[in-house]
Structure 1
Amino acid sequence: MSRPSMPGLPPDEDFAQIIFQGKLSRVEVAKGVGCGKSALNQNPALRKRLKALEEGLRERGVLPSLTEKAKAQAGQPGEYDHKAARRALDAKRIHCWNKKILN
């Protein structure tokens, strides 16, 4: 893999280590930049630079290319899942039960 086109950035191999679900891990990027994860989502300048970085990594083959569905949904809010909180509580409850049973 080659060095990124933007000066001052780590080599592509370092970015390959923090790929999560087809894009750079926001937690790891925030650690590397020295800001909070929320800043990556809320700051338009950071969001724009991160998007440009990911597009460059996709062009160089470090990140996988976007699917047609992902391209169509880019920039649109996700669908609200009214059952997500309930599933999270159920998962915690099951985890606690398993912990009690196994101990």
Structure 2
Amino acid sequence: MKQQQEYSKKVLDNELALLWVNTIGMMALAFYCVYTRFDAAFPWLTAMVGLPWAAWGVSKTGYTMKSAKQNTAGGITYETAMLAAKAEHQNPQTIAEETVTDL
């Protein structure tokens, strides 16, 4: 069975898709402006492409930092993986006792 993506990863993927649609649309508008010899639109076309990419960079940095904290010692994903690995090699009673003493 396919593992479901976590919500923050879905949001980041959707943001990236919207960015590409925006970028391609602005490139088409820029081409049209060059074709019609209307160069006054270039500053706002540049802003319409550059600013969303900068905002996406902030989102990506936040997601990367969240993932790094989850996957290091003390993070919830790391600790869950370590307990699962112990479960394969020990009996369930020992793991339950260790979990209680860790709290």
TM-score under structure 2 normalisation?
Answer: 0.28
Higher helix share: 2
TM-score under structure 1 normalisation?
Answer: 0.28
Query: Which structure has the larger Rg over C-alpha atoms?
Result: 2
